[in-house]
Amino acid sequence: MKVRSEIDRMKSQQKRFFKLIKFKEALSRMEKAIPDKPLENERIKSTRALGRVLAEDIIAEKELPDHDFAAMDGYAVNTQNIQNASENNPVKLNITGELYPPDHPTKASIGTFEAMYVACGAPIPNGADVVIKVEFIRREKGEIIIRKPVEKHRNIAQSGEDVKKNEIVLSKGHIMRAQDIGLLVALKQEFVNVIRKPKVAIISVGDELTEPFGISSNKTANNNAYIIASLVEYFNAEPILLGIANDNIGHIEQMIKSGLDNADIVITIAGCSVGLKDYVPNVLGGLGKPGIIFHGVSISAGKVSGVAVTQGKPIIMLPGHVGSTVATFYLFVIPLLNMQLGLGFSDLLPKITCILDGKVTAKPTIDLVLPVKVHIQADKYHAVPLKKHLSILNNLVDANGYVFIPAGVEKNKNDIIDVKIFGGLEFFNMMR
């Protein structure tokens, strides 16, 4: 009898934080409880800025190009000398020299009825205002023959045509791409200020887990942690794998405190349901205010997920089943990462319109988060619902996006639906 009452007490304790709320309410509570403030800046080499978020406007300190140059191989001439050229009245110009790209800056010039050969990229000699392509010119004994006029500035890349001095070329909050780096290099901007990458501590919970490499064990490989670490890195943050916490309150608390000391966000995987050994909510409930802001969301998958805030830092409780782990990462962690990067509380995932290849029904009170496989058929996107058990990892391997179906909503085959794509790489794989 005494044993039974102790079990009942423990069950009651495990459930004291668990209360299902709507998904939108969960997001609202997160926005209110977590400071919407980007992390501090750091200064890095512009050549290493791919994927980073700018912490400042980039103002051009010079023009691009900084001089006029030939955009084609041809002959630099003055349009005034050839304005009356025709088939019946060809104009002959004396060739006075040649210019090539290394010849910048140049003091070369042409006079009346003179021309100069310029290779693509070479500076334009003084006195010239047009480049006539080689294939449109007849050359004879040190002269070129022009049989029609050409408009001014043709085939010339003019100074400042690309970028004006003091122009804002990239704005604060811009996510750097390869072409943006090329622009900074062209402007000779060696360093750039970016938002520091969020550090994310990852803790797996469970006596049944073991690290996957090394000594052979009958325990379950801790693969969920490596999925989440890879996703953290993919979404522009720095993962810190803290390892496995035993099903022990003291050990869980110790590791969460270590995460708070070393990271901006802490993620726990498993140990957050309402079983006798699901200690994570109890630990978070005692770490400091405001503590748990919700535990339990009316979504499938991920009903037992939750969020706490301690020391101004969010702690995200992800469920242990791999499908639920990944689903709740996309729903709750990505918006936090983006917020800390100054991008706002949003997932920013690409969304595409698809034809549904199947029937999907959400339960009356539970929103459905369902992985789908998007493929292209007859130049249209089709989404195949993946209905295997969520704990099967291969189900996620087949998936490249997910659909969110509100509670009580039914979608039938050939209905048009919106699919959130997991990330840009999925498009590449989709097209193969």
Contact between 21 and 298 (Cβ < 8 Å): yes
In this structure, the answer to whether residues 76 and 191 fall within a common structural domain is no
Please state the domain count of the chain.
4
Please check whether residues 83 and 130 belong to one and the same domain.
Answer: yes
Q: Which residue, among 224, 251, 226, has the nearest Cα to 240 in the 3D structure?
A: 226
Look at residue 423 in the predicted model and tell me its pLDDT.
86
Whether 365 and 420 share a structural domain: yes
Mean pLDDT (10-residue bins), the chain, 432 residues: 49 70 96 92 97 96 91 95 92 94 82 95 94 88 91 93 94 97 95 98 93 77 94 97 95 96 97 88 92 95 94 95 93 97 94 95 94 93 80 82 95 96 83 70
Are 210 and 128 part of one and the same domain? no
What is the reported pLDDT for 291?
Answer: 94
The CA-atom distances, in angstroms, between 354 and each of 87, 250, 410, 424 are: 59, 48, 16, 17
Q: Is residue 346 part of a domain?
A: no
pLDDT, position 430: 77
Report if residue 120 sits inside a domain.
Answer: yes
CA gap 14, 307 in Å, rounded? 16
Q: What whole-number distance in Å separates Cα of residue 358 and Cα of residue 372?
A: 11
Pairing between strand 313-318 and 265-269? parallel
Decide: 126 and 110 in contact? Cβ < 8 Å. yes
Whichever domain contains 295, its CATH number is 3.40.980.10
pTM: 0.84
Residue 90: inside a domain, yes or no? yes
Note whether 95 and 201 are same-domain residues.
no
Asked if the structure places residue 149 within a domain, the reply is yes
Q: What is the model's pLDDT at position 210?
A: 87
In angstroms, rounded to a whole number, what is the distance separating the alpha carbons of residues 343 and 210? 36
Query: Does one domain contain both 319 and 381?
Result: no
What gap in Å lies between CA 413 and CA 395, rounded to an integer? 20
Q: What share of the chain is helix, strand, coil (3-state, %, to 5)?
A: 25, 30, 40
> What is the CATH classification number for the domain harbouring 408?
2.40.340.10
> What was the pLDDT predicted at 6?
47
* CATH number for the domain that contains residue 52: 3.90.105.10
Residue 390 resides in a domain: yes
Question: What pLDDT score does 390 carry?
Answer: 52
Q: Which of the listed residues 195, 216, 251 is the one where a domain comes to its end?
A: 195
Q: If DSSP codes are grouped into helix, strand and coil, which group holds residue 404?
A: strand
- Regarding whether 209 and 294 lie in a shared domain, the answer is yes
For residues 296 and 2, what is the distance between their CA atoms, to the nearest angstrom? Answer: 30
The answer to whether position 300 is within a domain reads yes
Encode pLDDT of 360-376 as tens digits: 999 999 999 999 999 99
Whether 334 and 188 share a structural domain: no
Q: pLDDT value at position 2?
A: 52
> Rounded to an integer, what is the distance from CA 52 to the centroid of its chain?
9
Looking at residue 399, the DSSP 8-state letter turns out to be: -
- Looking at 317, 340, 363, the residue that finishes a domain is 340
Last residue of a domain, one of 292, 311, 340: 340
pLDDT at 221: 85
Task: Please tell me the distance from the alpha carbon of residue 323 to that of residue 328, in angstroms, as a whole number.
Answer: 9
Q: Tell me, yes or no, whether 345 lies in a domain.
A: no
Reported in sequence order, the residue ranges of 339-379 that DSSP labels E, i.e. its strands, are 351-356, 360-361, 367-377
Mean pLDDT for the chain overall: 91
Q: Judge if 332 and 361 occupy the same domain.
A: no
Q: Is residue 331 located within the same domain as residue 357?
A: no
Cβ atoms 118, 103 nearer than 8 A: no
Shared-domain flag, residues 139 and 249: no
Q: Is residue 250 domain-shared with residue 182, that is, in the same domain? A: no
Q: How far apart are CA 314 and CA 237, in angstroms?
A: 15
Q: How many helices (H) and strands (E) does the chain have?
A: 11, 28
Q: Domain range holding 334?
A: 2-39+197-340
Q: How many Cα atoms are found within 13 Å in the side-chain-facing hemisphere of 162? A: 15
